Structure 1
């Protein structure tokens, strides 16, 4: 078998792999990019982008139900062609995928891009496309795929994941969504708003990964008004004629299809990670992965790096991109540099948005941290928008006043979450935030109110007036 040598071999051409490739190119090193399965990133093909296209259609269509209070007969003014809506989602999806491919793998010659599944023969010897590649370093960025329990697979096409959902030409009349994390909640609500009779199930009592009990309760109440939610018991599926019966905790529903969104598993089948285990002298973990450093992405002391969704660390696009950059930097330069990771930021694009920033409620110390909150019901801008629902909770260190984190469900949460994330990243205190300008009327006034509530519970206070910077002695 032909064998050749490169500086860096990158396995996987998703977000992490492409960012690793960018770093390799910047370092002027030779490389090969290997990709098995569908080209294009998970985000563009079956994740962030097609789901947001569906969410947008669903929100726009759902808005008609609120127009009556403004004197608009929305039901008469708007109808929905489901087939055309799904075609629009697919067209946008294809556009996003084409953009990714046209600026990445489409431009690579055959010797630099191999469309085939890879196998590690040794830690830095890769077999793919009928050849062996000896690399100075290897980046593993093979991504992940939806989990479907083996007991459910015999139900065939009646069990959907995001891999199949965006291929549908029509929607079923009824559907159960099992797993109410980000994917299940976003798509479940959207499908409900597009006319599908949706029932949600989750064996956890929290939805969207929320840890703050106040935010979780508000989320359950708000989402539960649109579709039934059955929490705290594992779901079981049984065939009932040509339909499926989903049962959990004494609740049962008969549906046409099931959307399975209970998690994702790393794409490592046939990759041969056992050679890494043998080289390190340590076993692979329960998921079949070797130990790695989340700040350098290095696997043990080997010139091997693992980045993106495959490691299950933070399965979010910008995090996968960062991990790819870290892995690519180290692989291309022969370094083992450790990098500081960014403040955690999680956004669920359901309506209202559910967001978490920085430390979660279950991560703060109740002895040293304080909590401030505001409910959106009286917030002027939210009231005008007809979206005054939800609650915002912010956390800070009681002694220093430094902002630690937040969880929320509320309108324009995606924007509030970014503001909070940037503030935490900069190490700002609550008092410093309250000195920032807040326009009126804007949704950010909800954040201002939550910060005032939090400020009153802190030991750290600003000198002088809270909301103003004292003028220094100058010639001015």
Structure 2
């Protein structure tokens, strides 16, 4: 049994579905092959259920400010952890159902099964051979778990299992403080769980600016204990708990461990060896990020499996680029968007454009603003956070920013737009900044940059008529 296809897409996550929509505009001779659950990583175990948890925890944490607002009775508020987890699953299921609506419309072109190359351009799925002119690989990723941790069974979980918990543990060690580890750690601490956050690096959430990183550490430390610059080993206790011991000599006993050590691309058992590829360093070194082509092969790679920018809007872009090129005879290169990352902690952590580390050695100026004393954050009783912005000293062009500030997502989007348009700080200063808003803090940081620019004369931030 066999069939021919102009394009075969392996994986029905965000990247695969986006690629399918692109290909279908050019040819109907396309198949979508998926092994495992449908519904996208974002909807099932990533972006969306985590944001529900974060929102519940943030709302509950606001009770600490009620009395200063004149709102009485906050001492009587409690949290029902089982109901919280059920609420998360209810919304998760709604998000997944919306994705499944689009999958169901694909019909017979959707194949459920594991695909494997048995020859170049020949896939085998469920015993059927598919001869494909082009193939898009969008098989996603899975959490990294040290092999010996599997022996702890359900006591060691990843984000793939976390949202299935019927109840929250009384204590948990979160090993890995990237975005998801930090988000869940802070949220659980606010819901009354004893949290220990352990990170091998001395940076959290991917921050490279030492000033902003220290602010983040200070903020998290007020809500849960942090052990940074150390790695962890696990062992069982007689009481049935897990003992976590770090290389710097600390230890603690907890009910559960959340392994948040990152994700590994799903390239196992795809049969890519038929192409003679050296996969010892993964796929990302072999992929053109502007075409998503794998070397000069009739293969295109998109999404988390590519390990380039594992963020939803970037994953969707990669699927679109891969699908566009897989459906056409000529490969086209596309300019990628300004890098933009958000950790939905409180305050939010934003990295947009070039990082502080990437700009090391360049002739830049830095504008910064503390949000501890800022009009709008004072009104909101959210007086914490710090913003740092980087610009070229000679031209004043905006290059990047790292921050941890309240409602930072809006500041980040504003800066991303400015960078996409290659705006200078002077250009941006022509924009109105409304009072009183968090954006006024951005204006202060930009003004600090203008004051440092080469050849800058004092004057109004207005155009002459």
Does the pair score TM above 0.5? yes
The alignment status of 1:433 with 2:428, answered yes or no, reads yes
Distance of 2:362 and 2:284 partners within structure 1: 37
Q: Where does residue 266 of structure 2 map in the other structure?
A: 267
Give the equivalent residue in structure 1 for 2:400: 405
**Separation in 1, partners of 2:151, 2:382:** 43
TM-score by length of structure 1 reads 0.95
Aligned to 1:165: 162
Q: How much does 1:367 deviate?
A: 4.2
Match of 1:474 in 2: none
- Unpaired runs of at least 5, structure 2: none
The answer as to 2:333 corresponding to 1:299 is no
Answer yes or no: is the 8 Å Cα contact 1:434–1:466 preserved in 2: no
Q: Does 1:107 align with 2:105?
A: yes
Between the aligned partners of 2:139 and 2:91, the Cα distance in structure 1 is 24
Given that 1:8 and 1:30 are in contact with CA atoms closer than 8 Å, whether structure 2 keeps it comes out as yes
1:156 pairs with 2:153: yes
SS at 1:314's partner residue? coil
1 CA distance for matches of 2:213 and 2:270? 39
TM-aligned CA deviation for residue 29 of structure 1 = 4.0
**SS across alignment from 2:394:** coil
Matched, 1:468 2:462: yes
Correspondence for 1:344 among 320, 339, 352: 339
Runs of 4+ in 1 over 3 A off after TM superposition: 287-290
Question: Counterpart of 2:315?
Answer: 320
Answering whether residue 360 of structure 2 is matched by residue 362 of structure 1, we say no
Please report how far the alpha carbon of residue 30 of structure 1 lies from its aligned counterpart in structure 2 after TM superposition.
1.3
Given that 2:284 and 2:307 are in contact with CA atoms closer than 8 Å, whether structure 1 keeps it comes out as: no
Asked whether the 8 Å contact 1:8–1:29 carries over to 2, the reply is: no
| 2:254 paired residue number | 255
SS in 1 for 2:65: helix
1:386 aligns with 2:386: no
The separation in 1 between residues aligned to 2:338 and 2:77, in whole angstroms, is 42
Aligned counterparts of 1:97 and 1:446: Cα–Cα separation in 2: 38
- CA distance in 1 between partners of 2:322 and 2:460 (Å): 44
Whether the 8 Å contact between 2:283 and 2:306 is mirrored in structure 1 is no
Give distance in 1, aligned partners of 2:255 and 2:372.
37
Given that 1:20 and 1:325 are in contact with CA atoms closer than 8 Å, whether structure 2 keeps it comes out as yes
**2:289 & 2:455 partners in 1: Cα distance?**
33
Q: Structure 1 residue 245 and structure 2 residue 243: aligned?
A: yes
Q: Distance in 1 between matches of 2:233 and 2:339?
A: 33
Change (3 A) 1:121 1:229: same
Equivalent of 2:328 in 326, 333, 349: 333
Is the CA contact 2:10–2:115 (under 8 Å) kept in the aligned structure 1? yes
* 2:367–2:448 contact (8 Å) kept in structure 1: yes
CA contact (8 A) 1:140 1:304 kept: yes
Superposition CA RMSD, Å:
1.3
Q: Which residue of the partner structure matches residue 39 of structure 2? A: 40
Q: CA deviation at 1:64?
A: 0.7
What's 2:454 paired with?
A: 459
Task: Determine the structure 2 residue equivalent to 1:16.
Answer: 15
Structure 1 unaligned regions, length at least 5 = 472-476
Query: Following the alignment from structure 1 to structure 2, what is the Cα–Cα distance between the partners of residues 366 and 451?
Result: 21
Helix, strand or coil for the counterpart of 1:24? helix
Contact 1:435–1:466 under 8 Å retained in 2: no
How far did residue 388 of structure 1 move?
Answer: 1.4
